[in-house]
Structure 1
Amino acid sequence: LCILFYWQWQKTDHIGCNGEGYPPFWNRTSSSLEDFITEHKIVINFWNYLDRMSIYRTLLNATSSYIYKTESKIMRNVLWGLPLQHGWQYQTGRLGDTANVNNTKQQSLDPTISPRSWWACMNYYLCAIPFLGAVDAGLFNNFPHEIELTQPEEFPSDFCSGVTDCKISCPEAMNSRQVAEQSSLNNSEEEGIVSLMWKAHVESIRIALPICSKRLNYLSAPERNFGRNWAKAVEFLAAAYFPTDFESVNNFQMYLPPRRLKEGDKAPNIADFGMEQNRIVFALDWLNKANIFSGSKCLELSKTLHCWVRVVKG
């Protein structure tokens, strides 16, 4: 089953980006930390979609200036996967208050991110940690200000608020991110950067899973199952060094669920999902089951296959 999934994944047809492909409201985000300076401090509201997306944009700009020298190559920045995933979560209603498990409508103009959202909690560790890792690596030395990440009123202890705080609460993730971001400064080998970024990404998810788990109760059973499957699938994508540039992520996200799953949804027969969207939900479920049943041998086999492919390619 593991090999069949790998084969199906690899043969999936990729098509061009839909429209411009940018995350929702990208043109309303900031690209500089200057916009967040308040009384000699940089204060960022991580519970506002536009603020969180702005941090992703500043990360893209900071790293692109080192390793992607021309405009045509900036879209190859391996960090594009982070804002594009955040945009998908927002567009599909996964960042709002999910207490009503059957309300799967998209958020429209409300930029509020709910601390009750499992997806928002997980994403926090995939935004705050990369950003603070970049700060620690020296990518923002031109902003000698204290950085403060605002905390939500609910579950505030689940989130760190600055470099020092995060180094104490999740040192492994911070160290992985600091190393990955530092490589952007000193290394132009794209494959090496992709490898480090995926390693840091997996580490951040490992740290976030137990912290965010209490929010799974706010999700419908199918959405809860999909979220767990997605978190495990990231390890398979990491093993494959899945490219996270602008075009590759856009192509992939076209197959992801267009809304939260609700009670009664059962892939591959969800009526308002496309064939590929049904197939992805179904395949991820079976992949996770196969991996559990095999005692994680499915993931180990995937890592071996991709390692062998990279050796053959030279």
Structure 2
Amino acid sequence: GKAFAADKYYFDLDRWQAGGIISFSQTCFSEYWSTLPVIITNDEGDNVVDPWNFTHRMALGKYLIEHTGGEKIWGIGYSKHFFWGYIAQMDWQQRSGRFEDPSKWAAALNDGTPEAFLKGNISKKSWWGHMNLVFSVAVYCGAAEAGLVPAILLSDEFVEDDIGFQVCKKGWKRFFKTDFAAFLDAHNSIKKHKDDDALYRALWKAHTNTINAGMQHNLETQNLLPKEDRDVGLGWCNMVELLAATNWPLLSLESLLRFGSGYLPTLRLTGPETIQWMKENRPLEYTTIHSLYQLKDITNSTIHRACQFFARVSRWRFARNSLPRTLHVLTHGNPVQKCLALARVLTLALFPRSPLELSGIGLFAMSILTHKRLRN
């Protein structure tokens, strides 16, 4: 049997995935948030950070949340800050063992205990670790070069010299220096909601650029992954294109509490036997796995047309805010529920503007409606 068991988590995993919780103490962060190392101690630029340590990366995320606008903008406990969504992904990647050397996955399954979880080391052979590097350390370094937070020194000089890291850091610097700065300046204006939308458009642009650069510069570690887990990662990268098309605004802690963190696989996928175990023991995660496999195989032209469609659906804020529940039904619901959800989405779209757009959503809809049959 697998070592994983949900009851070994120090929080209610199922509730965290599904949403509907009301307290920070019920989140994945609660067990370690107050004990994260204080690594930013001054403004002199000599704060040394280990880029291959989970607690250091998480501490950078915590500092960004708490020092880029304050509670006046982000609310009590900074709960509206978008970076919560980023560090929730980091927590999932570490907790599921994806930051470990893939060659050791089959020998030691992560069980979700603090001993395994808080070891902290991130393998340089982990594709997930390299991809997260540019969504954590590079983000902080970009914000530092934009003058928002103190500079840091990296204990591994090869990270700073890496071309892919430099590209991503420059992209995040541009985001913080221009669009994020404009958001802070305009926050108190009557156009606040429009400013929020503009911020998220710029954020998703920086995000997709980072994905593309990260994938381009990490092919070697990508090839070290078992095919089953690699395809989940590549499918998730395509999923980001759809999220960007909707200008997805639900990255805050408030949104995670309400809608949940989702059903990403809590075990590393080392082979067909792991997939079968997920099917029998974690069915919602199993459905997500196969949805991501479908997205991994989707053609560029089809995903482009699907993005056009969802961009139309998401022109209204209320439609964007309802997307988590809509996508949950489209992924995990029965055929009748899926048809009803698709009907609502199509109504919001007010009919696609072109035959190409219609064919894109048609293919996307057919894959959703037949998904239950295919996975059985």
TM-score (norm 1): 0.78
Deviations 1:180-214 (A, max 9, x none): 44244324232222221111111111111121221
Determine whether 1:61 maps to 2:60. Answer: no
- 2:160 match: 160
Q: CA deviation at 1:267?
A: 5.5
Contact 2:242 2:306 in 1 (8 A): no
- 1:77 match: 81
Gaps of 5+ in 1: 1-12
Contact 2:54 2:122 in 1 (8 A): yes
Q: CA deviation at 1:30?
A: 4.3
The code of the aligned residue for 1:277 comes to E
Instruction: Provide closer, same or farther for how the CA distance between residues 223 and 28 of structure 1 changes in structure 2, counting only shifts above 3 A.
Output: same
Higher-helix-fraction structure:
2
- Greater shift in the superposed pair: 18-27 or 235-244: 18-27
Determine whether 1:121 maps to 2:120. Answer: no
- 1:285 match: 293
- Greater shift in the superposed pair: 100-109 or 81-90: 100-109
Contact 1:118 1:215 in 2 (8 A): yes
Task: Return the match for 2:99 from 89, 95, 115.
Answer: 95
Task: Return the match for 1:245 from 240, 243, 252.
Answer: 252
The code of the aligned residue for 1:246 comes to L
Q: CA deviation at 1:63?
A: 2.1
Contact 2:53 2:121 in 1 (8 A): yes
Q: CA deviation at 1:281?
A: 0.9
Determine whether 1:46 maps to 2:51. Answer: yes
- Structure 1 segment 1-314 matched on structure 2, within 5 A: 15-17=19-21, 20-23=26-29, 25-30=32-37, 33-34=40-41, 41-65=46-70, 68=73, 70-71=75-76, 74-102=78-106, 103-106=108-111, 107-140=116-149, 143=150, 147-151=152-156, 156=158, 159-160=159-160, 171-172=170-171, 174-176=173-175, 178-188=177-187, 189-242=195-248, 243-249=250-256, 251-265=259-273, 270-271=278-279, 273-289=281-297, 291-292=298-299, 295-310=300-315
CA RMSD after TM alignment: 3.2
Instruction: Provide closer, same or farther for how the CA distance between residues 215 and 32 of structure 1 changes in structure 2, counting only shifts above 3 A.
Output: closer
Contact 1:44 1:51 in 2 (8 A): yes
Instruction: Provide closer, same or farther for how the CA distance between residues 249 and 92 of structure 1 changes in structure 2, counting only shifts above 3 A.
Output: same
SS at match of 1:255: coil
Q: CA deviation at 1:217?
A: 2.9
TM-score (norm 2): 0.66
Q: Number of paired residues?
A: 286
Contact 1:66 1:185 in 2 (8 A): no
Q: CA deviation at 1:53?
A: 0.4
Identity %: 21
Q: Which has the higher contact order (CA 8 A, sep 6+)?
A: 1
Instruction: Provide closer, same or farther for how the CA distance between residues 304 and 168 of structure 1 changes in structure 2, counting only shifts above 3 A.
Output: closer
Deviations 1:195-253 (A, max 9, x none): 21111111111111121221123321101111111112111112122211114346443
Whole-Å separation in 1 of the counterparts to 2:219 and 2:130: 9
The code of the aligned residue for 1:117 comes to S
Deviations 1:15-34 (A, max 9, x none): 32495214362222146721
Deviations 1:151-176 (A, max 9, x none): 27xxx3xx3269x9965786445434
SS at match of 1:241: coil
Instruction: Provide closer, same or farther for how the CA distance between residues 65 and 30 of structure 1 changes in structure 2, counting only shifts above 3 A.
Output: farther
Instruction: Provide closer, same or farther for how the CA distance between residues 229 and 30 of structure 1 changes in structure 2, counting only shifts above 3 A.
Output: same
Instruction: Provide closer, same or farther for how the CA distance between residues 167 and 222 of structure 1 changes in structure 2, counting only shifts above 3 A.
Output: closer
SS at match of 1:113: coil
